[in-house]
Amino acid sequence: MVTDKVSATNPGSVVTIENDGERFKHAFFSFGACLLGFKHGCRPLLFIDGTHLLAKYGGILLGATAKDGNEGLFHVAFAIVDNENDENWTWFLTTLREALYGKDTYDKIIAFISDRSKGLVNAIARVFLSSPHGYCLQHLEANFMKTNSGLGKAFANAMLGSNRQNCECDGARCIRMWQSPSTPGLKRHDIYQFKLMNMLAERREQCNNWGTHLCPEIRKKVEQIVDESHFLRVGRSTDDTYEVIDNNNNAVGLQSRSGSCRRWEVHGLPCKHACVAIMQIDTNIHSYVADYFTVEWYHRAYANPISPVPDSDKPSDENRQLRLRPLISMKQSGRLRRERIGSQAFDVRELHCSQCREIEGGLLTLTVLVLLSGWLLTFYFLGSLDVLLPSHILLTIGGVIFHTSAWYNFPLHRIEKYTGDISEPKDLDV
């Protein structure tokens, strides 16, 4: 079996392929190097996401992705299922829990971030009983924009500032882009394995050239925070406790690594209040950054390589005991799409007046209503006549043409320019 060969070449890997007798049902893949890298080199935070596969037989790709010490995506596990429902989410998370906690002493409580769809919320609550579950900022922003147009990004920046990218989950979509839409079923596993193997090797070699305590991206963030702390006032209570004043009074505890603004505890990086307090004791601020962001932990995340699985070690078609039929999918009419349909909350085309080019969202609806009312009145007049004469027909045609041309050349939203205060000059370039 392919699962046995993958486990033999990559010890610690979890590969599960399930079927209902004749047809493929779902598959789970997690390499041993990725599991060990997450446990020993990443913070206990997973982004859970699902996305449609652009392939002949369709399907859904489920993914569990972490963040490494340099704010890069670290893919822990993925699965291929037929539908994104409560049953499949429960199966995926149950298999993921067994892969993480089953054969190791890993005991950290994992926090989850997702779009909090109904099936996923219920599945996480059942499988990971004590794990916190937060919103993915990208989906929260999209929902916010539906009722508050143009304020989505402002809302996100106000809530999280520069840390907003840590609350967005796009791991499954990144994995999906690794394969061609024409890639059949389980052949995707070979592509994912090849891409992950190269990614781990490149990042492992890259970090060998870092001669610092913190990862490069984290160093930039700390420097930015230090720049923001130069104009704060600080007072000392004890060697460990300080009061920092900006617009508010903030308490900082250096030994407990905490502050009243709570940014230090949430982000793992000293906030600006903590930085100005640390500078009072002439200590390197980098030593107060969480271990997850150090180069040492980054080395741990990518220390274990993914080994190739040669075709010679895989069972051939002639020796295969079970031939699985693909997922059942509803074939759509028309040409096969190569790109995903974007969300309706983004890139909405605005309506412009054909005369003055002003933005007017309700112009088309109002114009159509007025046109219809004019046409109805004209035809009502025509139907009330006892004798239909050629002049009546010409009058009807003329009325329709008049209403259409009048409202086309005189947009509704420009009426206010003629009905406003006459003492105020107006620019009427009709």
Kindly give the interhelix angle for 390-409 and 363-383, rounded to the nearest 10 degrees. Answer: 170
pLDDT digits (tens, 9 = 90+) for 263-322: 999 889 999 999 999 999 988 999 999 999 999 999 999 999 999 887 755 555 555 555
Q: Give the three-class secondary structure for 135.
A: strand
CA angle, 301 then 306 then 310, to 5° = 175
Write down the pLDDT at residue 345: 39
Confidence at residue 121, expressed as pLDDT on a 0 to 100 scale: 86
Position 105 scores a pLDDT of 76
- Could you read off the pLDDT of 21-50 as tens digits, one per residue? 777 788 899 999 999 999 999 999 999 988
The structure's pTM equals 0.68
Q: What is the pLDDT of residue 157?
A: 56
119 and 84 Cβ atoms separated by less than 8 Å: yes
What pLDDT, on the 0 to 100 scale, is given for residue 107?
Answer: 86
pLDDT of residue 22: 73
11 vs 14, 103, 405, CA distance in Å?
Answer: 9, 12, 76
Find the helix or strand (DSSP H, E) in which 133 lies.
strand 133-135
Tens digit of each residue's pLDDT (9 = 90 or more) over 59-87 = 888 999 999 999 999 999 999 888 888 89
Return the C-alpha torsion angle 382, 387, 390, 393, nearest 10. Answer: 10
Residue extents of the structural domains in the chain: 2-209+306-313, 216-293, 363-419
